[in-house]
Amino acid sequence: MIPASFMTLEFLPLTSRGKLDRSSLPIPSWKRCDLFAEPIVPRTLTEKRLAAIWLHLLKYNKLGVHDNYFDMGGDSLLGAKLVTDIRTEFKVDIPLQRLFESPTIAEMATWLEKVTMDRDTMGQRLAGSPGHSLVEIQKGHIAPALFFVPGGGGGDSTLLVYARLARQMGSDIPFYGFLACGLDGVSHPHTSVKKMAMAYIDEIQALQPSGPYFLAGECVGGVVAFEIARQLQMAGQHVAFLVLLDTYYRSSRFYIATFFKELSSQLKNCWKKIVNPETEGSRMVRILHQILCPVIFLGDEIGLVWPNRHPDSPEARQWYKNRVELSYHRVLQRYRPGKYAGNVMFLVSNNTDLEKMETDWRSFISGNIEIIVTTGTHTEYIRDHSQTTGRILRDCFEQARQDVQ
């Protein structure tokens, strides 16, 4: 919510009725921390094509090739549009996570040029190898890293929201997130929370072989983070920091009800598209697609059908995202946590039932439970109040880091 730039005007333009004339306000210029540094203008054709996309979306009149997308006020909605425009302009299947790894024009241009050279051997699909989940959201430079399990499976657009939280914690902290297995249309969603945790631990330890580990998880991702901490502790590793953001331990009945509610909603949306009078073109093909899609989807859920398709369209990407969300409810309804012999901090939104949360988790945690309330509801406390939530998370992270030194 902090403005990306500030401008000083001698007067505010007004309409004939004395109100602010927003259309007459000048487009703000991007202000750098180093006021004496001149921006480096695009030098190659690739950088110039990227700069045109950047300028159009971010509404700046001037920027340099080393300006960071997130520092310039870029958010998750613009990030999705930015990646879509790059896909269209350069005819490559660029994953949204690439924006974390190459947040400047210069870095993105370097990656695109390499991809173009290697296209014959790599093929058109460049979204990463199947089964790979760990994504570097923020490089940082001060150890240790924070490994964050997102809620709802952690699609690309979800990780962009957590990128804002990472920036508020401080750009010096290495911050990693996880993409759920199954979003690529090649790998299959995990069948249990324990298997999901084991797969994530393999990727964590490939990057950091031993502790102390700093873990966090949000919503249903908090349950997975809890299981990761348990398994690491059982393997003799030291978990120095575990924070669960708005994470309840729900009963099996809750997840079963949620599963069928979500499935019903998706079937209802399919039916609306079928009977939409504005649907034109090959109507029968569209109708067959809308009918077969939920049938195949339901068959996949009960283990009878496994459609192996690539998400090379917005509809397919949304289909896989819905399937991953439903798979989360399915595996959570079978999960029974074991004991965790450590301290756990809960960072919760302001409409949380604190007594119920502590009661539900107390039988699984033998250490101390600390609950901190942040600003905003469950849908707001990260998206709209990342500054407050990020500051609280940063303070707790710093305290845990000092305790292990």
Closest CA to 158 of 171, 148, 168: 148
Instruction: Single out the residue of 145, 196, 207 nearest to residue 170, CA to CA.
Output: 145
Q: Closest Cα to residue 44, out of 119, 118, 109, 117?
A: 109
SS3 124: coil
Residue 268 lies in a domain: yes
DSSP-H helix ranges across 98-219: 98-101, 105-122, 156-169, 193-207
Q: Are residues 188 and 96 in the same domain?
A: no
- Residue 120 has a pLDDT of 40
| Calpha distance 176→150 (Å, rounded) | 10
Do 226 and 146 fall into the same domain?
Answer: yes
Q: What is the pLDDT of residue 304?
A: 45
pLDDT in tens, 43-86: 888 888 888 888 888 877 777 888 888 777 777 678 878 888 88
**Final residue before a domain boundary, out of 310, 332, 354:** 332
Residue 202 has a pLDDT of: 93
Higher-scoring residue by pLDDT: 325, 237? 237
Same domain, 236 and 376: yes
Which CATH number covers residue 30? Answer: 1.10.1200.10
Note whether residue 127 is domain-resident.
Answer: no
Q: How sure is the predictor about 171, in pLDDT bands with cuts at 50, 70 and 90?
A: confident
299-353, pLDDT tens digit by residue?
Answer: 555 444 444 444 455 666 666 777 777 777 778 777 888 899 999 999 998 888 8
Q: Residues 50, 87: one domain? A: yes
Number of domains in the chain: 3
Task: Give the model confidence (pLDDT) of 173-226 as tens digits.
Answer: 899 988 888 776 677 778 888 999 999 999 999 999 998 999 999 988 899 999
- Whether 6 is covered by a domain: the verdict is no
The average pLDDT across 283-311 equals 53
Identify the residue with better confidence: 231 or 1.
231
**Residue 397 banded pLDDT, cuts 50, 70, 90:** very high
In a domain, 180, yes or no: yes
The pLDDT value given to residue 175: 92
Share of the chain above pLDDT 90, in %: 20
Residue 52 counted as domain residue: yes
| pLDDT mean over 372-383 | 87
Using CA of residue 151, residue 156, residue 161, residue 166, what is the dihedral sign? positive
Predicted pLDDT at 33:
45
Q: What is the pLDDT of residue 164?
A: 79
Mark whether 210 and 91 lie in a shared domain: no
363 shares its domain with 284: no
For residue 342, give the CATH number of its domain: 3.40.50.1820
Query: What is the spatial distance between Cα 397 and Cα 167, in angstroms, rounded to a whole number?
Result: 14
Please check the confidence at residue 244 and state whether its pLDDT lies above 90: yes
- Give residue 316's pLDDT: 65
More confident: 5 or 133:
133
Q: Strand pairing partners for 244?
A: 217, 346
> What average pLDDT is seen over the chain?
77
- pLDDT for position 228: 95
Task: For residues 138 and 238, state if they share a domain.
Answer: yes
One domain, residues 150 and 240: yes
Within a domain: 8: no
Rg of the chain over Cα atoms, rounded to whole angstroms, equals 23
Domain containing residue 223: 134-249+337-404
* Closest to 170 in 3D by CA, of 391, 402, 342, 405: 391
- Domain-terminating residue out of 315, 332, 349: 332
pLDDT tens, residue by residue, 109-119: 888 887 766 54
Q: Check whether residue 311 and residue 397 sit in a common domain.
A: no
- The answer to the question of residue 128 being in a domain is no
Taking residues 75-98, what's their average pLDDT? 79
Domain boundary among 122, 145, 169: 122
| Selected residue with higher pLDDT from 355 and 60 | 355
Checking if the pLDDT of 234 tops 50, the result is yes
Is pLDDT above 50 for 128? no
How far is residue 130's CA from residue 207's CA, in Å, rounded to a whole number? 18
Of residues 31 and 239, more confidently modeled: 239
89 & 183 share domain: no
Q: Of 210 and 94, which is predicted with more confidence?
A: 210
Q: Is the pLDDT of residue 227 over 90?
A: yes
Do 343 and 220 share a domain, yes or no? Answer: yes
- 356 shares its domain with 290: no
Q: Quick one: tokens of 16?
A: 């004939």
* Residue located via tokens 């297995």: 181
Q: From the centroid of its chain, how far is CA 389? A: 16
Q: Is residue 104 part of a domain?
A: yes
